[in-house]
Amino acid sequence: MKGPSLPYALRWVRGMDIARWAHRLQRWSGLFLTAFAMWHSLQLYRSARDPSLLANHLALLYNPWFMAAITLVVGFHGLNGLRQLVYEVGILGITSQRRLILVVKVLVLLLAFGVLAWRGG
């Protein structure tokens, strides 16, 4: 007998392995970082004209939780990109890919918790 059926919205998740998820998250984090860079540039342009906007912008950027979130995204994008490069070049094989993804997760979480501890979150 089969187990309970997944709802239709979740059926596409079942067949995906962790490397494919890491690849998709790599793409999404890259899009997020591009959008963040554009938003940040626009805010700096506006802040140059109105100093009160600069204070609001800096208050958001120096928020420990915001810094931790950005560290999570940047850290994941950078470390996962290095993982993909190591895999594509052939330094490590497909069997060590799961362990490397786990190392990326742990390092990114350590970075984020380090930022929270450093900034007092």
Give Cβ neighbours of residue 110 (< 8 Å, ≥ 6 apart). none
Domain spanning 18-119: which CATH class is it, in words? Answer: mainly alpha
What per-residue confidence (pLDDT) applies to 34?
Answer: 96
Report the pLDDT value the prediction gives residue 27, as an integer from 0 to 100. Answer: 94
In this structure, are residues 91 and 82 in contact, taking their beta carbons and an 8 Å threshold? no
Contact 113, 121 (CB under 8 A): no
Count CA atoms closer than 13 A to 110's CA, side-chain side: 7
Burial of 112 (0-12, 13-18, 19+ CB in 10 A): buried
Residue 120: what residue type? Answer: G
> The dihedral of CA 103, 108, 109, 114: what is its sign?
positive
Q: Give 10-residue mean pLDDT values along the chain (121 residues).
A: 55 65 91 95 89 86 89 91 86 78 88 86 61
Nearest to 59 by CA among 71, 49, 48, 47: 47
Q: What is the pLDDT of residue 92?
A: 76
Structure confidence at residue 14 (pLDDT): 56
pTM: 0.74
pLDDT for 73: 93
